[in-house]
Structure 1
Amino acid sequence: MLPPQVGSGASVTEPPNHVTGLAERRAKAREARDYAAADKLRQEIEDEGWLIRDVAEGFALTVRPPFTIWPTVASIPVPGGAGDTGSGRPGRERAAEAVEERHSPAREQAAGGAARTPNVADGTEGEPGTENVVASQVLWDAALATSRLQEAISAAPAAGEHAEVPSGQVSVGLLVDGGPADVRKCVDALIAHTTAKILVLDLGDVEGAGSVLHELAERHPERIEAWHVAETPHWRGGPAGWGAARNKLLALDSADVHVVMETSTILDGDAITPLVAAIEGDVVAAGWKGVDPDEGGRDWHEAGPGQVRGLLGYLFAVRRDAALEAGGFPDKARYYRNGDLEFSLALPGTLVVPHERLPVHQERHRGYHDVDPDYRDRESRRTYDRVLNLLRSHPAS
């Protein structure tokens, strides 16, 4: 049984005196910039079943969860890629301080105040900074991937029917930023209605959602692969941005088709296979909801079925090689809103909404309704300025 509120910042019991003593010694080591000693003390604290993080008042100790926690999104290793960790990387304590400096209030204003320092780790962290998703991919054979995809979708026996796409060729990427009930409902529906692999990135175990994810991954190890980071989302006052997190999932994927989905989106049937089946010829992406810009690009209206300029991030499937060719998701998009439009406009091909009605619905979108309105408007405008630039440089044909 998982301890309640694991990783949420609230301890279920008081730490024993010897653990508090280790934490106090670590604080002194950090103050003296003796990061080797601080790393050793952190490990001793973790071996005792506790996690430590720095707060304004000093440090906080919480019960260690039963899963690996990477300090940052960037530190999760991509096998053979730029995000992989290895010798020569800074230790956890030095890396944590570098992240703290990078995301200090003087460097960046996040919603709700300064970013929480993500200094919980299992392993060492790579250098903080913007990762290049395209560069982190090695030995990607786009021609082979396209061939395998076309084989999968050309087997449809009749109009209106779809051949089931083998699970190894399709992955669904989810970002978890809280809402444990949403996570459970979304993942349970994916398990029930599809055979796709499910890749999930948990940002900060907000509200214990990461612990729910761990429970689900333990129950379905053949279907779910999960990563947990100490960073909380930018839209919740942390340093983890939407675009960078989405790019990490894309980099960790190896499927031919990468499905972008939000945890507020719930499948009522197999809505994945029709989207994958629509990706053929010059079509590189297909989604549940499409939009087109009005003249001047200042407003967008619902569009489809058929060809559209933009796909909304509630649910869409994209050829992974096309996403990589586009440079991945917009790394500068710290918040989801309009990031899907920026990504759509950069894709090298046609985007469509299938003609058939998909068995899917959306529940309360916490990413919109539970975010500070001032932050939401500011970050939405920030991203939309780039969308307008893309519209000017890529006018509709």
Structure 2
Amino acid sequence: MSEDEARKLAEDRRERRAAKDFAAADELRDRIRELGYEVVDTAEGFELTPVSERRLRPEEVESVLEQHPMYEFSVHWIVQGWSEDVARGIEGFRRHGSDTGVQHVIVDAAGSDTEWPGDVEVIALDRDPGWAIARNAGLKRTAGEIVIVIDGSIEPAGDILTPIRETLSDPEVGICGPFGIVTDDLRDFRDTEGPDCDAVEGYLMAFRREILRRAGFFDEKFRFYRTADIEFSFRVKDQGLRAVVVPLPLERHEHRMWANTPEEERARLSKRNFYRFLERWRGRTDLTVSGGGSGR
């Protein structure tokens, strides 16, 4: 019955729009939503979609960042394919620690039909908008005090939450993770065991929620993932904070996006992203460890 009623209201809304009575049309749209449907205008008229099934545009994702934190940790995943990798990662968290105080947020940008556990928050996007935009859509839903941005190639092999908690308890540390890199010239980066580093790689990076207010979100020009982590790390360090390597018990599996992107395309996208990084941070060797920018 509610669908019939929603359809009738949608017909009335179409007539109000044709008459340019947009205030009345907006009111009817809200009444349709209350019935559990979203009305989508089309060239032929309209379509009704159950709210629970409708995929969102990234800008439609509602932020909870102004609300008081409800969890200690928010763990953020992105599905651009290979949803089984994310399922494996979440299971790793649950196998090696309590889920109490942990929020898992999945951004599904691949249109997958995976059935996720009921306690996982899933943000189903209407398309794949690129790595950074999808990541930022998920970050808007952060209800935890500590944010963990993680790739599906990572599987916890022990308690990773306690070392992250302890590391970020130091107010001088802005971002941490198990994979750190350093550079002397902002062009050639190499792995480091730390403790201080110039950037934390995006396979797993953790920071306090308030960092999003101070440093901002990922640069949404980064449609491919590479170098977005370096650029974000530099924005955190530009706040006078340290980037720190923290050893974590985990297993690394194949990075599917890298492995399934043709070599020439990988090179092209990586080069373009690196130039984006240099456009903003060229000459800022003062932020590097070798340049004295450890944050200490």
| Counterpart residue number, 2:122 | 226
Quick one: which amino acid aligns to residue 180 of structure 2? G
Contact 1:308–1:352 (CA under 8 A) maintained in structure 2: yes
| Counterpart residue number, 2:281 | 390
**CA distance in structure 1 between the aligned counterparts of 2:85 and 2:242, rounded to whole angstroms:** 32
**CA distance in structure 1 between the aligned counterparts of 2:205 and 2:63, rounded to whole angstroms:** 24
Q: Does residue 1:332 correspond to 2:221, yes or no?
A: yes
Contact 1:345–1:391 (CA under 8 A) maintained in structure 2: no
Q: Does residue 1:216 correspond to 2:106, yes or no?
A: no
Pick from 95, 99, 107: which aligns with 1:192? 95
Q: Does residue 1:78 correspond to 2:6, yes or no?
A: no
| Counterpart residue number, 1:181 | 84
Q: Does residue 1:243 correspond to 2:120, yes or no?
A: no
Q: Which runs of 4+ in 1 moved over 4 A?
A: 64-67
Mean Cα deviation higher: 66-75 or 242-251 = 66-75
Contact 1:71–1:229 (CA under 8 A) maintained in structure 2: yes
Contact 1:282–1:350 (CA under 8 A) maintained in structure 2: yes
Pick from 148, 156, 159: which aligns with 1:267? 156
**CA distance in structure 2 between the aligned counterparts of 1:188 and 1:65, rounded to whole angstroms:** 30
CA drift at 1:241: 2.0
State the superposition RMSD in angstroms: 3.7
Quick one: which amino acid aligns to residue 331 of structure 1? E
Contact 1:286–1:317 (CA under 8 A) maintained in structure 2: yes
Q: Specify the SS of the correspondent of 1:384.
A: helix
Contact 1:276–1:317 (CA under 8 A) maintained in structure 2: no
**CA distance in structure 1 between the aligned counterparts of 2:138 and 2:188, rounded to whole angstroms:** 30
Contact 1:73–1:229 (CA under 8 A) maintained in structure 2: yes
Please, what TM-score do these two structures have when normalized by structure 1? 0.56
Q: Specify the SS of the correspondent of 1:227.
A: strand
Please, what TM-score do these two structures have when normalized by structure 2? 0.74
Distance 1:364 1:379, change over 3 A: same
Contact 2:164–2:176 (CA under 8 A) maintained in structure 1: yes
Quick one: which amino acid aligns to residue 125 of structure 2? V
Contact 1:70–1:76 (CA under 8 A) maintained in structure 2: no
Quick one: which amino acid aligns to residue 351 of structure 1? A
Distance 1:168 1:282, change over 3 A: same
Quick one: which amino acid aligns to residue 284 of structure 2? S
CA drift at 1:197: 1.5
Quick one: which amino acid aligns to residue 227 of structure 1? I
CA drift at 1:318: 0.7
Structure 2: give runs of 5+ residues left out of the alignment. Answer: 1-17
Distance 1:281 1:190, change over 3 A: same
Pick from 232, 237, 243: which aligns with 1:351? 243
| Counterpart residue number, 2:180 | 290
| Counterpart residue number, 2:109 | 203
| Counterpart residue number, 2:13 | none
Q: Specify the SS of the correspondent of 2:117.
A: helix
Q: Does residue 1:138 correspond to 2:29, yes or no?
A: no
**1:1-397 to 2 correspondence within 5 Å?**
67-79=52-64, 137-138=65-66, 168-194=71-97, 195=99, 196-205=102-111, 208=112, 211-212=113-114, 215-218=115-118, 221=119, 224-230=120-126, 232-233=127-128, 240-279=129-168, 280-293=170-183, 295-347=184-236, 348=239, 349-354=241-246, 356=247, 358-388=248-278, 389-393=280-284, 395=286, 396=288, 397=292
Give per-residue Cα distances to partners, 1:138-157, cap 9 Å, x unaligned.
367xxxx8xxxxxxxxxxxx
CA drift at 1:275: 1.8
Quick one: which amino acid aligns to residue 116 of structure 2? L
Give per-residue Cα distances to partners, 1:214-247, cap 9 Å, x unaligned.
x2222xx2xx2111112x33xxxxxx12112222
Contact 1:311–1:344 (CA under 8 A) maintained in structure 2: yes
Give per-residue Cα distances to partners, 1:29-65, cap 9 Å, x unaligned.
xxx9x9x8xx99xx9xxx9xxxx9x9xxx9xxxxx99
**CA distance in structure 2 between the aligned counterparts of 1:313 and 1:176, rounded to whole angstroms:** 15
Judging by fraction of residues, say which structure has more strand.
2
Q: Specify the SS of the correspondent of 2:63.
A: coil
Contact 1:276–1:286 (CA under 8 A) maintained in structure 2: no
Higher RCO, 1 vs 2 (CA within 8 Å, ≥6 residues apart): 2
**CA distance in structure 1 between the aligned counterparts of 2:235 and 2:285, rounded to whole angstroms:** 9
Q: Specify the SS of the correspondent of 1:217.
A: coil
Mean Cα deviation higher: 260-269 or 374-383 = 374-383
Give per-residue Cα distances to partners, 1:250-288, cap 9 Å, x unaligned.
221122110010111111111122122111130111101
Give per-residue Cα distances to partners, 1:266-316, cap 9 Å, x unaligned.
1111112212211113011110100001x3222110012300000011112
Contact 2:58–2:137 (CA under 8 A) maintained in structure 1: yes
Q: Specify the SS of the correspondent of 1:313.
A: coil
**CA distance in structure 2 between the aligned counterparts of 1:269 and 1:66, rounded to whole angstroms:** 38
